[in-house]
Chain A
Amino acid sequence: MAGLPSRHRSLFLLAGVVLLQVLMLAVQIKSDSQGRLIRVWTVSAVSPVERSGAWGIGKFRDAWRHYFALSDTARQNEELIRENGRLKLEIMQLQSKSAEADRLASLLNFKQKQAKVPMVLARVIGSGADANSAVVYLDQGLHEGIRKNMGVITPEGVVGKVIESYGDTSQVLLLTDRDSGVGAMIADSRIHGQVGGMGEPLLDMKHVGADEEVKIGDRVVTSGMDRIFPKDLPVGTISQVKPGTAFKQIRVRPSANIERLEEVIVLLTTDPLSLKPDASANGNAAAAPPAPGQPISGLTNTKPAEKHP
């Protein structure tokens, strides 16, 4: 190497480094490992920054909403604005608190309805560094019992699944990712298929035969066949149907607001779960799954809850 001209030296270095990474990829594919150690280091280094960033942005938003956003009004009429500003400030505070309280109450209500299913509430603190994939990071991890392949939902519907879990952080593959998939069926006709991401806001429902009757507006729910999500959780609503040769081309609008996630629920079990009728609703809750956007009534675990250290 020392005797080579510098141009050739860098070419050799380029070839060597690329070859090394190709080998590294090959080893990961062969052993099905994903370089966990380097990921743990990087995530451990980055997640505290993201956590503080999320905290800082929350504070900045509060400060902006509650103080600076009122400065324009103050210029219009000083006397009026004092009174008006105070009222606006109170309204904004109340709205902000009310929205947060509604969100948290909905999550808490959902959690309380099925005490048998272990689950944990988590906050989204970051997203993946790859523009082509839909991945988010949560502020809860191994210490709270989160493990790989656990389902992640909101009261509105399915969000994705945990693909990696670290100490206080976990990585979730969203339903909109190209590699994502969930066993699903159309709620009314019970036609089975598979719903997956396309890297776009809409989802793709596959394996629905061309001769099946499918309408725009039909609700799609989980089938429970993937053994990650319980049966009858809302997945989305059919927004496009095109005829195909063997299968229909179906697009589904997700029930959960996947593009604007703030808090989610992680189901702390990989055992099969099923919906149980809501005590406050009529007795058909199990037979009729909740409409997309409507809170899920309840879950029961068909096996004893998994014990996590």
Chain B
Amino acid sequence: MNDTFDLRINESHIEVHKFHGGTILLCVIIALVLQAFLPVYITKASILDLPLLITIYFGLSRRNPSTGLLLGTFIGLLQDSLSKTPIGLFGIAKTVIGYLASSIGARLDTEHPLARFALTAVFFAVHQGIVVVVQKLLLAQPQPWFTTRLLIACIVNAVLGVFLYHFLDRLRKS
């Protein structure tokens, strides 16, 4: 099997990236552990959503909606199980983000840092929107749609995403 192959949609020329065995699982575990561990020592780190960044990156890179959404589900459910939220809240949100990221990744070239920044910011907002909708509609928990903290978190995560994705690019099979 080829390490990389080309996907042609509407005459566009988009590369599907593959990773060494265990890379994705390892990245997911590290992201979850850091997400739970960093805020103990750096309080401000609680605004980061590393599992979301990992979901977006591998969704954009693998460009297969089915694997993207299943990876999102897996990460979301693990994040739920490390939080006090009911199991499924982040699962649903990250399933949708995994699907959207891989669908967009299959149509657009998402390698440019500016494109990555914009996509991460949009996905963060969509993710937050889904979480609030589920909390309001299914769990009857009143949550604000927008706070300054969320806006800051959106920008910080998008900036971090650009650097993190650049690092993760190095883990691709050449």
Binding site for B on A (CB under 8 A): 6-7, 9-11, 13-14, 17-18, 21-22, 24-26, 28-29, 34-35, 38-39, 41-43, 46, 49-50, 53-54, 57, 124-133, 135-137, 163-164, 171, 173, 177-179, 199, 259-260
Kindly state whether residue B114 has any CB partner on chain A within 8 Å: no
Is A34 a contact of B79 with CB atoms below 8 Å?
no
In the complex, the answer to whether A130 meets B43 with C-beta atoms within 8 Å is no
Mark B83-95 against chain A: 1 for CB-CB distance below 8 A, else 0: 1111111111001
Does B125 sit within 8 A of A, measured CB to CB? no
Task: Please state if A42 and B82 are interface contacts (CB–CB under 8 Å).
Answer: yes
Which residues in B have their C-beta under 8 angstroms from that of A259?
A: 43
Spot the interface stretch: B12-20, B29-37, B115-123, B163-171: B29-37
Whether the Cβ atoms of A43 and B73 lie closer than 8 Å is no
| A14/B69 contact (C-beta < 8 A), A46-B32, A49-B33, A130-B85 known | yes
Question: Is B84's CB under 8 angstroms from A173's CB?
Answer: yes
**B23 part of interface (Cβ distance < 8 Å):** no
- The complex places the Cα of A18 from the Cα of B92 at a distance, in Å, of 6
Count chain A CB atoms within 10 A of each CB in B47, B88, B89 and give the residue with the most.
B88
With contact pairs A25-B134, A29-B139 given, residues A126 and B95 touching in the complex (Cβ less than 8 Å): no
Other A-B contacts than A14-B99, A129-B79, 20 sampled, CB-CB below 8 A, are A10-B103, A18-B92, A24-B91, A25-B139, A28-B87, A29-B86, A34-B87, A35-B86, A38-B77, A43-B82, A57-B41, A128-B36, A129-B51, A131-B47, A132-B143, A133-B83, A133-B84, A164-B84, A178-B143, A179-B141
CB contacts (< 8 Å) of B66 on chain A: these are 6, 9-10, 13
Distance (Å) between the CB of A45 and the closest chain B CB? 8
Contacts of B33 in A (CB 8 A): 46, 49-50, 53
**Chain B's nearest CB lies how many Å from the CB of A297?**
29
**B26 on interface, CB distance cutoff 8 Å:** no
CB proximity of A160 to chain B, nearest CB, Å? 11
Q: Are A26 and B92 in contact (CB under 8 A)?
A: no
Question: Residues of B within 8 Å of A, CB-based: how many?
Answer: 48
Q: Is B46 an interface residue (CB 8 A)?
A: yes
Rounded to whole angstroms, the CA-CA distance of A50 and B39 in the bound complex is 12
* Docked-complex contact B77 and A18, CB < 8 angstroms: no
Contact A13 B69 (CB under 8 A): yes
- CB pair B36–A133 under 8 Å, yes or no, is no
**B30: shortest Cβ distance to chain A, in Å?**
9
Return the chain B residue nearest A137 by Cβ. Answer: B36
A128 to B83, Cβ gap below 8 A? yes
In the assembled complex, B4 has its CB within 8 A of some CB on chain A: no
Q: Are B92 and A21 in touch, CB under 8 angstroms?
A: yes
Shortest distance between the CB of A31 and any CB in chain B (Å): 11
**Would you call A21 and B73 a contact (CB within 8 A)?**
yes
* Nearest CB of chain B from residue A140's CB, rounded to whole Å: 16
Contact of B73 among A17, A38, A41, A124 (CB under 8 A): A17
Q: Judge whether B1 is part of the interface by a CB distance below 8 angstroms.
A: no
Chain B minimum-CB-distance residue to A39? B81
The verdict on A127 contacting B73 (CB below 8 Å), with A38-B87, A42-B78 known, is no
Query: In the bound complex, do residue B87 and residue A130 qualify as a contact, i.e. CB atoms below 8 Å apart?
Result: no
A130 close to B95 (CB less than 8 A)? no
Most central of B47, B51, B81, B134 by chain A CB within 10 Å: B81
**Assembled-state Cα–Cα distance A127/B80 (Å):** 13
